[in-house]
Amino acid sequence: MDQSLFDTQSRQPAVLARSANLAEGYSATIAEPVRPDVPTAKFGDPDITATGERRASVSLKTLRTLWFNTGTLCNLTCKNCYIESSPRNDRLVFLSRAEASRFLAEATRLDPPPAEIGITGGEPFMNPDILGILEDSLAAGFAVLTLTNAMKPMQRLKAPLLALNRKFPGRLTLRVSLDHYESSEHERLRGRNTWQRTIDGLLWLARNGFVVAVASRTVCGETDARMRAGYAALFDRLGVSIDTADPTRLVLFPEMRAEEDVPEITERCWGILGKTPDSVMCASSRMVVKRKGADRPAVVACTLLPYDGAFELGASLAEAARPVKLNHRYCARFCVLGGASCSG
Ligand code: SF4
Ligand code: SF4
């Protein structure tokens, strides 16, 4: 998988700055706390912020994307991987085909059922059950979006992937992570000798009729337009047909600086910021994870918070349909203020 856990649309830095300032300014106007006995630390109480306001929450509007985290093991150790994947990180263990199929069965009974199944990791193609999970998801009638670095773990499965794509034409999208349109910047983040292997995988997918998308980070302070122009030139050189103006085919994610201080999100922030709760990922997504040592998978609120037990919502999709309290700095930084809207 990738950093790329938000599906589309990132905002420009100026918008982010304006939003953050609004939230800070709004907080400063609150005269009386809702409760006098509020905790002083941010993100300490699930219901009340440090300034005594009611914390924002998000209801599940409709489950549009059901994500399966196939495990945190990865063949790479990229800088700033939000889930800290590596060849050694097995905090989330491999999800089995049988475990995934139970959630697929529940998903097909929903009205409406999810529009797509998202597959993320780690690197999903390191999971020994990945082909079965893909096949079951496609056979159940879902569109499937799989995030991958397109390197050796994927490339060793070329023959079965071709067979799957023939059996379910147009329904399997592979989104390849390429962190920049220049090899040097990509390898600065992903490590030496990662560029050409990913390019080889991307070319193989494109030349063999897969639906292909690319995800990139915007780590260099480059504008959206410059990034898209850089990728357009690269794809021209490679002979790859990807519409770089389409934000679902070339997905640019905002830089993830998780350590930054952020304001907490209150109920009234929605109005101040001109946003709605429906615009953030947990209004339309859930993710199935399996923690190391757990006897069964769990459903968490979103792809961004796989480790935080406070965002574990239940053992089934039905249990996990309850509202999510935005009691994490990622909620503010990446979703409400960061502009990383996640509906695909
Ligand atoms: S490819 Fe890199 S960013 Fe993606 S999961 Fe592996 S280590 Fe993380
Ligand atoms: S980080 Fe918070 S606001 Fe964003 S999708 Fe996850 S739970 Fe929702």
CA distance 280 to 97: 29
CA distance 21 to 173: 38
Residue in 3, 55, 57, 280 to alter for ligand 2 test, most ligand atoms within 8 A of Cβ: 280
Indicate which atom in ligand 1 lies nearest the CA of residue 2.
4
CA distance 288 to 199: 30
Indicate which atom in ligand 2 lies nearest the CA of residue 311.
7
Domain at 13-25+42-336: CATH code: 3.20.20
Largest CA distance in the chain: 65
pTM summary value: 0.87
pLDDT at residue 337 in the model: 85
| b/e burial code for range 130-152 (CB count within 10 A of at least 16 → b) | bbebbbbbbeeebbbbbbbbbbe
CA distance 213 to 151: 15
* Distance between Cα 193 and ligand 2 center (Å): 34
Ligand 2 pocket by Cβ (under 6 Å): 58, 280-282, 301-302, 304-305, 311, 324, 326, 328, 330-331, 334-335
CA distance 199 to 149: 9
Ligand 1 and 122: CB distance under 6 A: yes
Indicate which atom in ligand 2 lies nearest the CA of residue 58.
8
Place of tokens 């292909």: 212
Identify the three-state secondary structure at position 224: helix
Q: Burial of 110 by CB count in 10 Å (0-12 exposed, 13-18 middle, 19+ buried)? A: middle
Indicate which atom in ligand 1 lies nearest the CA of residue 83.
8
Is the separation of the CB atoms in 174 and 146 below 8 Å?
yes
Mean pLDDT, contiguous 10-residue spans, the chain (344 residues): 39 27 26 40 92 96 98 95 94 98 98 98 98 98 98 98 98 97 96 98 98 89 92 98 97 74 91 93 98 98 95 98 95 78 32
pLDDT at residue 89 in the model: 97
* Distance between Cα 152 and ligand 1 center (Å): 14
Question: Atom 1 (ligand 2): residue with closest C-alpha?
Answer: 331
Residue in 74, 77, 197 to alter for ligand 1 test, most ligand atoms within 8 A of Cβ: 74
pLDDT at residue 257 in the model: 63
From residue 112, give the alpha-carbon distance in Å to each of 116, 230, 288. 12, 39, 19
Ligand 1 and 283: CB distance under 6 A: no
C-alpha closest to that of 342 among 264, 251, 270: 251
* Distance between Cα 156 and ligand 2 center (Å): 35
Token duo for residue 49:
């912020």
Rounded-to-10 torsion of CA 36, 40, 44, 49: 50
Question: Atom 4 (ligand 2): residue with closest C-alpha?
Answer: 331
Ligand 1 and 127: CB distance under 6 A: no
* Distance between Cα 175 and ligand 1 center (Å): 13
- Does the N-terminal peptide bond of residue 112 adopt cis geometry, omega within 30 degrees of 0? yes
| Distance of alpha carbon 87 from the chain centroid | 20
Token duo for residue 84:
């800290």
Q: Burial of 241 by CB count in 10 Å (0-12 exposed, 13-18 middle, 19+ buried)? A: exposed
pLDDT at residue 25 in the model: 26
Question: Atom 8 (ligand 2): residue with closest C-alpha?
Answer: 282
C-alpha closest to that of 324 among 290, 278, 289, 292: 278
Token duo for residue 34:
């809702």
CA distance 1 to 175: 9
Contacts with 334 (C-beta within 8 Å, 6 or more apart), sequence order: 6, 254, 256, 304, 340
DSSP string, 137-170: HHHTT-EEEEEE--SHHHHTTHHHHHHHHHHSTT
pLDDT at residue 342 in the model: 29
pLDDT at residue 220 in the model: 65
